[in-house]
Chains A and B, each alone.
Chain A
Amino acid sequence: MRRTLVFAPALLALCLIPATVRAQATARQVTGKVTRTLGATPVLGATIVEMGGRGVAQSGADGNFTINVGTTDVRLLVRAIGFQRKEVAVPASQSSVTIGLDEDPFKLEAVVVTGQATTIERRNATTAPVQVTSDELNRAPAQALEQALQGKVPGAIISMNSGAPGGGGQVQIRGITSILGAGQPLFVVDGVIISNDAVSDGANSVTGAGARTTAAGIGSSQDALVNRLADLNMQEIASVEVLKSAAATAMYGSRATNGVVVIRTKRGAGTGGAPQFNLTSRLGRSTAYRLLGTRQFTTSRQVWSLPYGNGNSSQDTAVMNALYPGGTIPFTHDYQSEFYNTGKPSYEVTGSFNGGSAATQYFVNLTGKNEEGTALNTGARLYALRTNIDQSLADGKVKVNVGLNVTRNSNNRGLSNNDNTCTSPIYCFAYTPGVINLDSTDATGTFVRNPFNGGGNTVSNPFETFRFLRLNELTFRQIGNLSTTWSALNKEQHQVSVTATGGFDRAQISGDLFSPSFLQYENPVASDGFSGRSVRSEGNVFNYNLVLNGTWNYQPTTDIGLTTTAGFDYETQAVRVTRTRARGLLPGVETTNSGTVLEESDVLNNFKDDAFFADEQFVALNQRLTILGGIRADRSSANGDRNKRNVFPHISGSYRFTDLGDAINEVKIRGGFGRTGNRPRYGDRDVVLNAGNTYGGTPTLVQAGVRGNAGITPETSNEYEAGTDVQFLNRRLQFEGSWYNKTIKDLLLQPATIPSGGLTNLVINGGQLRTQGIEASLSAAAMQRRDMDLSFRATFSKNKQTIENLPTTVPRFPAPGSFGAAFGRNFISPGGRTTWIWGNVPLDAAGNILPIGTEVTNPGLIAATRDTIAGDANPDFIMAFSGSFRWKRLTLSANVDWRQGGDVADMTRTLWDEGGTSRDYDAPITRSNFGTGWDLNNIPATYINGKDTLAYTAGSFRYNSWAGGSDVRAYLESATNVTLRDVALSYEAPDQWLRYFHARSLRIAFQARNLIKLTNYWSFDPEFNNFGATNLNRFIDLAPFPSNRQFFLSVDVGW
C-alpha cells in the first residue's frame, strides 16, 4: 500500500472504533442501563461499543440496552450526546451493568463535521461550530426550521419573513456575501443537499404586486413565499450543525460561501430487545399579537377629511349618511382584531418506532402537524414519514444506511404583503376607516362592499376575500439517501474504508389560486379589465448528489492520528416552474381551462457541478494539536468556462493548553483560512435574446435587457478566522470567542449600463466586499446537583460589512428588490456599507442635512433633496441568552434573542398614516412621541388636504414630514427588540404514573413561542420583509401577515 495518498473512508460510527480490533467470538449477551449520574434518569440514544470487538448497541428511551460481546473480560465505551464518554469494564462473569454518565455541558465530546466523511470531537475542533440538539429545536413547536433556530446560532441572522402559517424565513450567516448570487446557506440532510427553493403561487395575480399583466409576471417575490425548509419535520431531526467558518465549509466548495447547515436525522437503536414506541402529542393555538390597532373615529367629518376619495364617492357618502345621520360615530371597528382572530386549535402528533438487532436498526417516524393561521381559512398542514434503516453486512465490514422521507405540506397563507389592488388585508385596512362592519352579510349572504378608498372594484372586503379566495400550495416531497461503507482494512495502525453516499430530493410544489368573479375587487371587472382569475403553478424540483470517497486512518504511534480522505462529488439541481393563468373566467370555471386571456410561462433552471477533493486531518501531542487541511477543485455548468476547475483550499489548526489549574482549566487557541465560492446564477453565462410581446399575431424578438457574460466565474470568498476557547472555574464556565475577516471578490454584478446605450444591465464579475466580525459565547454549568441543575449560555455577535471597491466601469447602483429612494434601499457604492439604507433626505442651501420634519416645519429652508445615507440596517449587535433550570422533575428552559439597533423601513406605518387610520394618528406631537432627530418647532397650526383644513396631529405631521418620499427618515425605525423565542416548562412523570400507563417514560410540557417581544417598533415585527428572503434590502416591512405567538401543551410518552 502506498502511504502517500490512499482512498479511504469511514462512517461516523466506524471512526469511533478504536484502533485495536481483534477477531473475537461473539458469545454472550450483556444487558444494561445508561443513566445520568445525577438523578439516575435514563439516557436515550447512548452508543455502547465493545472496545476492540464488534458489539455495538444503543440505549432506548428507558436507558436500557442489550449488547453482544466476547466471552472474555471486555470493556465497553459509552457515549451520548450531552454527556462525557465513559469506559466501563465488564468481567466475563458479569451479564448486566449500569452505567452512569456525567454531563458534558459544553458538548466537548460531540463530534463535529470536518470533511465529506470525517468528523472530530468538538474539543479538538479548529473552529467554533454551532450544534443545536433535537431537544433545543423542539422546545416549542415552530413554523419551520428557521424559527426553531432563532436565537440559537451566534453569527447568523435568522428571520421569519412574516407571521403567515407554514414558515418562510431566511438564514444569513456572517453577513451579506453576495449581491445577486445565492445568499442562503447550503442545507444538507444526511448527506443530501436539499432544495431550499421558493416558488410563487401567483398571488400577485390578485394583489397586483409586481407586473401582473404579463405571462412572465405570474408570481412575484412579494407573494409571501414559502421556502422549502418548511417541509422539514423537526421531530425527525437529531441535530443541526451550523458551519460558519470558511475553514469548515470549504469542503463544500463553490456553494459554501454562505455557510453550511448539516442536519442529521434520528436513527434506530439496536437494543435487540423490544422495539420502542414514542408518542408526542401537542395541542395549542396561535394568537395574533402586536396588532396595529386603529385610530378612533368620532365624527363623519374625520372620515370625510381622509385622503383617497373617502367621503366624497357616492358609495361611501351613502353608507356614511345612512349609518351616522347625526355625523357622530360612537364606535370604531378594529378590523385586524376581528380578522386575525380565528382561535382554532393547532396540533401536532408524532409517533415513532425504533428498534432492531445488532445488525439491523430502524427508525420510523410519522408526524402530522396542523398549524392554524390566525386569519380565516389560513393554515399549514404537514404530514411527514421518515424511515431510516441501518444494516451491517459481511460480518460488519459493510454498513448500509438508507433513509427515506416523504412529506405532504399544504399551506393556505392568504394574501399579505405589498398590494396594488387593496386586497392584502393589512394594506387595505390602512385605507378603510373602521366605521362600518365589514364582517357582515346581507340576507342573501353577500358581504358588504367596502365603500372606502374609491369604493367599487378598486378595493376589497378582506373578510369576503378570505372567505372565498382559494390560495393553496400543496407540496409532495421525497428525500432519500443511501450510504454504503466498506471497511476494507482494519489493522492496528491502519483502517481503510470506502464510502459511497448518494441522495435525491424531489419536490412537486403545486400552487392553486382561484379568485371568484363575485368578489368585490373582481366585480364587475378588476383593474386589469377581467373578472375572475385562476392560476395553476407547478414547481418541480429534483436535486441529486453523490459523493464517493476513501478514508485512511493511520496511527503511527499511539499519540499521532492521521486521517486522509480523498474523493469525488457530483451534484445536480433542477427546478422547473410551469404556470398557467386564466383571467376573465366563465361562470363555474375554477381551473385555467378557459378564460378571456390564457397565459402560460415555463422556466427551467438547472445546474451540474462536480469536484475532486482531498483532506488531511492530523491530531498529535496527546490530542492537544489538531491540524486540518484540504483542497477541493470544482467545476460548474453555471460557470462561463465549464471545464475550468476552481480551487478551494482550507487549512486550520488548534492547540490546547491543558491542565492549567482550577481557575483556568484549559485554553485552546485556533485559527484557520478557507476559500469558498458562490457560483453564478443559472443563465448568467448565456447571451440571449428575449421574446417580446406578440404583435398583430407575430411573435417578436427583442434585445435582452440584461446581457449575459460567457466568461463569468464564481464569486470567491477568502476568510481568515482566529479564536480561543477557555474553560475555567473548575470547568463550570466556558468562553468561546472568534474573530473573522472575510473578503469576497469577483462579485457577480449586474451593473446598470448607461441607459442611452439601450440595454439595462450587463452581467460581470468584479468588486470586493469585506465582512469583519466577532462572535463570542459564555456557557455556564452553574449548578449540577441531584435535585437541581442550572445552566446558562449567552452569545454575542456583531459585524461590519463594507464594499471595498467596484470596477470603474460600474456605476454605484441600488440593490435589487426595493421601493426606491422614498422608502430606502441598500446601495452598492464603493467605500460604503452593504447595510446602509439610502434614501431621500432634505438639505439646506449649504448642503447640510436638515432634521426630520423640516418638510412641514420649515420647507423654505430646503434647497435640495439628496439620495444619501439615512440609516443602517445592520444591528449594532445581536445577543442571545438561553438557560435551563431543573428542580427535581420540573425543568424550565428558555431562549431569549436580543437584537440591538439596525433600521427598518416601516412602510406599513406609511400606509396607515397615509390612509389616516394609524392608532396614534390623533396623538399629540410631542418629543416623547417622536424622539430625537425631529424638528418639532414651528409646526404650522393647520394644513389643507385638498378638502379640509385640519390641525396637525402626530399621524399627519409624520406623513407630511415624509412628504411623498422626500424624507425617508420619517418612516425609518429602530429594529431593536428583545424576544422570548421559546420557553418550555416540562415535568418528568414519576414511576407510579409510568406504571399506570405501562409506559417507559412520560413527560408533560407547557410550551410557548414568541411569548414576549419588547420593542418600540411601531408595526408587527422588525424582522419581517416584504420581499421574503433577500441578500440585501432585508428591512422592508409592508403589510405582512401579522406576527403570532403560540402556546402548546405537549405530552410525550414512551413505551
Chain B
Amino acid sequence: MRRILASLATVAAVTLAGCNLDLTNPNNPTLGGALSNPRAATSRMIVGVLSTYRVNRTDQIRAFGSFGRETYYMFITDGRFLTGPLRDWRQNTAFDAGTQWAGRYGNYRNAYAAMAIINATTALTDPEKHGALGVLKTIIALDMLHVIEARGAIGAVVDMTDNVNDVLPVVSQDSVYSWISAKLDEAQTDLAAAGTTFYFPIYSGFGVGVTSTPAGFTQFNRAIKARVEAKHGSLGCTTCYTTALTALGGTWVSATASFDSTNRDNGIYTIYSTAAGDAPNTVAFTGSVGSDEYVHPLIDSIAGVALDDRYRRKISTCPASSPRSEVGVSSSHRPCAYGSTTTSIPIIRNEELVLIRAEAEWFTGNTAGAIADLAAVRAQSGATKGGTAAVAFAAPANPADFTTELLLQRTLSLYQEGQRWPDYRRFNRLAALGTLPQDVTAGFTVATASVLPSQECDARARVSAAAPMSCPGGAAVP
C-alpha cells in the first residue's frame, strides 16, 4: 500500500509540475510591442492610415461610379452590384448601401489610435508630433469628406471616443462640412509647427509637382480645404466660396494662363503595387474590379464627346473589351482611366483645383474668371491632341447654364475620380443622371444618398437612440 501511494504521489507531482499553460500569440503584432517603440510603431501606423485611405479609395471610385452613372459594375455572376446602387439603394442591406461608411470610420479609428500614442509618448519631439498630427488630421478630414459625399442629407457622425461602442449623434450635412473645415485648419496649424521633414516615410509618388514635406503636405491640406469649401458653398454656405478661393492660394494651382497639359495632373496621388503584401489598383482596366466595370452609356451619349480628348484618353481608345448585359442593361465597352493595377489614382490634382476655382469665381461674381478657367480646362485637357472638347455653354449667361457647363467639364475631367455623383447632387441635378431608357426600363432610379448600413441602424436601435434618416423608423431619404 505504501508503494502504491508513493508511486501515485510521484505521478501527481510530475503532472502538476509539468503544466504551464502560457502560450503567446505569434501571428499578430501587439499593442505592447508597439508601445515599446512608439517611434517605429506610430510611423507604421501613419503609413497604415495613408494605405487604408487608398484601399477605400478604389472602392469609392467603383461605388460612386455606379451611383453617378459613370460606370456599371457588371460583376459577372451577381447582378446585385447593379441593382444595389441603381435600384435598391433605399435598402440598408443592398449592395453598396453604406459605402464609404465603415471603411472610412475604420481608418478614422486607425488615425485616432495613432494620435493617442503620439500625444502620450515622450519618444517624439514636438515638431515630429505636430507633423504626425497634421497628416493624420488631414486624412481624417478627407475620410469624413468622402463619408458626407456619400451621405448627403443624411449627415454623418463626426466625433470619435475611446469607447468603440459609443453611439454618437449623426449631425447634419452642414455641420459635417463645418467640422471637416475646422479639422483641416487644425491640421494646418499642426503642419506649420512640423519643421521641414516628417519622421515617418511618405511614399514615393505621393506628390507629383508637390513635395512630400510638411510644406507640400500643407498645400495638400489647403487643396482639400478648397474642395470642401466649394462643396459646402454649393450647398448654401454663403461665405464658403470665398474661403475656397483663399485656400486655393495655398496650393499648387496654376494660373489660368499657365495651366497646360504638362501641369494638369500635378497633385497628390495614392499609389498601388502588385508586390506581395501591397495593394493593387483594383479599378484599373486589368484590375479585379475594373475587369467588370463598364462605361455607362450616358457618358457615351454626351454631345460631342467622341472628339473630346478626355473621353478618348479614358474610354474610347482603351483596349478592346466584350459587350456585356446584366439584369436588363447593357454596355459595350470598359473604361481605362487607370490602365494597369499599378496606376496611381489622384486624390486631388491641378485640373480639379482649376475647376474649383472656376466654380468659386463664378459664385463670388467673377464670371469672366470662371469662364476663362473652364475654357482653359477644355483647351488643355479636352483638346490637347487634336481633339475638340465637348462644350455645352462656352460663355454661360446664367448660373443654370454655368452649372450645366461646370458639371459637363467636371464629368469629363474627373471621370472615375469619384466626383460626378456628389456633384450632380449638390447642384440638384440628379434627375439628369436617370434618363437612360434602359435604366428606366430596368426600374433604376438615381440614389440621393448611400443609406446607412444596416449594422449602423441596428446598433443605434439597440440602445434606443433616435433612428437617423434612412434607418428603419427614421426619416426617409429625400
A and B associate in one complex: yes
A704 at the interface (CB under 8 A from B): yes
The interface bits of chain A over 598-634 (1 if a CB of B lies within 8 angstroms of the residue's CB, else 0) are: 1110011011111000000000000000000000000
A755 at the interface (CB under 8 A from B): yes
Residue of A nearest to B8 (CB): A7
A811 at the interface (CB under 8 A from B): yes
B18 at the interface (CB under 8 A from A): yes
Residue of B nearest to A643 (CB): B21
Complex CA gap A923/B411 in Å reads 47
With a cutoff of 8 Å between Cβ atoms, the chain B residues found around residue A455 in the complex are: 322
Complex CA gap A811/B455 in Å reads 8
B323 at the interface (CB under 8 A from A): yes
B296 → A minimal CB distance (Å)? 14
B454 at the interface (CB under 8 A from A): yes
With a cutoff of 8 Å between Cβ atoms, the chain A residues found around residue B83 in the complex are: 964-965
Residue of A nearest to B282 (CB): A213
B12 → A minimal CB distance (Å)? 7
The interface bits of chain B over 94-125 (1 if a CB of A lies within 8 angstroms of the residue's CB, else 0) are: 00001001100111111011000000000000
Asked, given contacts A693-B277, A947-B325, whether A758 binds B45 with beta carbons under 8 Å apart, the answer is no
Let me know if B23 and A700 touch, CB within 8 A.
Answer: no
The interface bits of chain A over 635-648 (1 if a CB of B lies within 8 angstroms of the residue's CB, else 0) are: 11100001100000
With a cutoff of 8 Å between Cβ atoms, the chain B residues found around residue A488 in the complex are: 4
A974 at the interface (CB under 8 A from B): no
With a cutoff of 8 Å between Cβ atoms, the chain B residues found around residue A453 in the complex are: 76
Let me know if A754 and B166 touch, CB within 8 A.
Answer: yes
With a cutoff of 8 Å between Cβ atoms, the chain A residues found around residue B280 in the complex are: 213, 529
Among A215, A606, A690, the residue within 8 A (CB) of B28 is A690
Query: Which of A529, A610, A946 has most chain B Cβ within 10 Å?
Result: A529
Let me know if A809 and B165 touch, CB within 8 A.
Answer: yes
Complex CA gap A458/B48 in Å reads 33
Complex CA gap A610/B16 in Å reads 10
Complex CA gap A83/B21 in Å reads 46
With a cutoff of 8 Å between Cβ atoms, the chain B residues found around residue A911 in the complex are: 77
A721 → B minimal CB distance (Å)? 32
B25 at the interface (CB under 8 A from A): yes
Stretch of B186-194, B327-335, B359-367, B415-423 contacting A (4+ beta carbons < 8 Å)? B327-335
Among B44, B168, B330, the residue within 8 A (CB) of A699 is B44
Let me know if B322 and A695 touch, CB within 8 A.
Answer: no
B203 at the interface (CB under 8 A from A): yes
Let me know if A599 and B76 touch, CB within 8 A.
Answer: no
Complex CA gap A690/B27 in Å reads 9
Let me know if B93 and A840 touch, CB within 8 A.
Answer: yes
Interface residues of A in 231-282 (CB under 8 A from B): none
Let me know if A700 and B48 touch, CB within 8 A.
Answer: yes
B275 at the interface (CB under 8 A from A): yes
B458 → A minimal CB distance (Å)? 4
Among A213, A758, A820, A865, the residue within 8 A (CB) of B164 is A758
Stretch of B259-267, B285-293, B302-310 contacting A (4+ beta carbons < 8 Å)? B285-293
Let me know if B288 and A867 touch, CB within 8 A.
Answer: no
Let me know if B91 and A865 touch, CB within 8 A.
Answer: yes
A186 at the interface (CB under 8 A from B): no
Among B20, B30, B276, B460, the residue within 8 A (CB) of A599 is B276
Let me know if A694 and B76 touch, CB within 8 A.
Answer: no
Interface residues of A in 783-826 (CB under 8 A from B): 808-813, 820-822
Residue of B nearest to A947 (CB): B325
Let me know if A608 and B21 touch, CB within 8 A.
Answer: yes
Let me know if A690 and B29 touch, CB within 8 A.
Answer: yes
With a cutoff of 8 Å between Cβ atoms, the chain A residues found around residue B102 in the complex are: 755, 760
Among A610, A692, A703, the residue within 8 A (CB) of B21 is A610
Complex CA gap A822/B80 in Å reads 9
Asked, given contacts A689-B34, A703-B113, whether A755 binds B459 with beta carbons under 8 Å apart, the answer is yes
B201 at the interface (CB under 8 A from A): yes
A950 → B minimal CB distance (Å)? 11
With a cutoff of 8 Å between Cβ atoms, the chain B residues found around residue A210 in the complex are: none
Let me know if A703 and B110 touch, CB within 8 A.
Answer: yes
B400 at the interface (CB under 8 A from A): no
Complex CA gap A568/B18 in Å reads 12
Let me know if A550 and B51 touch, CB within 8 A.
Answer: no
Complex CA gap A315/B320 in Å reads 13
Query: Which of B44, B168, B202 has most chain A Cβ within 10 Å?
Result: B44
With a cutoff of 8 Å between Cβ atoms, the chain A residues found around residue B45 in the complex are: 700-702
Among B4, B48, B106, the residue within 8 A (CB) of A701 is B48
Interface residues of A in 907-949 (CB under 8 A from B): 911, 914, 944-947
Complex CA gap A607/B23 in Å reads 8
With a cutoff of 8 Å between Cβ atoms, the chain A residues found around residue B93 in the complex are: 820-821, 840, 867
Complex CA gap A705/B164 in Å reads 11
Let me know if B44 and A758 touch, CB within 8 A.
Answer: no
Query: Which of A422, A756, A822 has most chain B Cβ within 10 Å?
Result: A756
A650 at the interface (CB under 8 A from B): no
Query: Which of A422, A688, A692, A705 has most chain B Cβ within 10 Å?
Result: A692
With a cutoff of 8 Å between Cβ atoms, the chain A residues found around residue B48 in the complex are: 692, 695, 700-702
Let me know if A752 and B76 touch, CB within 8 A.
Answer: no
The interface bits of chain A over 694-734 (1 if a CB of B lies within 8 angstroms of the residue's CB, else 0) are: 11111111111101000000000000000000000000000
With a cutoff of 8 Å between Cβ atoms, the chain B residues found around residue A693 in the complex are: 51-52, 55, 277-279
Complex CA gap A698/B44 in Å reads 7
Interface residues of A in 333-379 (CB under 8 A from B): none
Let me know if A701 and B34 touch, CB within 8 A.
Answer: yes
Closest 5 pairs (CB-CB, A-B): A758-B109, A696-B203, A700-B48, A695-B51, A754-B459
> Given A698-B43, A756-B101, 9 other A-B contacts at CB below 8 A?
A458-B76, A527-B291, A600-B276, A637-B21, A686-B28, A688-B28, A693-B55, A759-B164, A762-B164
Q: Which residues of B contact A (CB under 8 A)?
A: 1, 4, 7-8, 11-12, 15-16, 18-23, 25-31, 34, 41, 43-45, 47-52, 54-55, 75-77, 79-80, 83, 87-88, 91, 93, 98, 101-102, 105-110, 112-113, 156-157, 160, 163-168, 201-206, 271, 273-280, 282, 286-288, 291-292, 322-330, 340-341, 438, 441-442, 453-456, 458-463
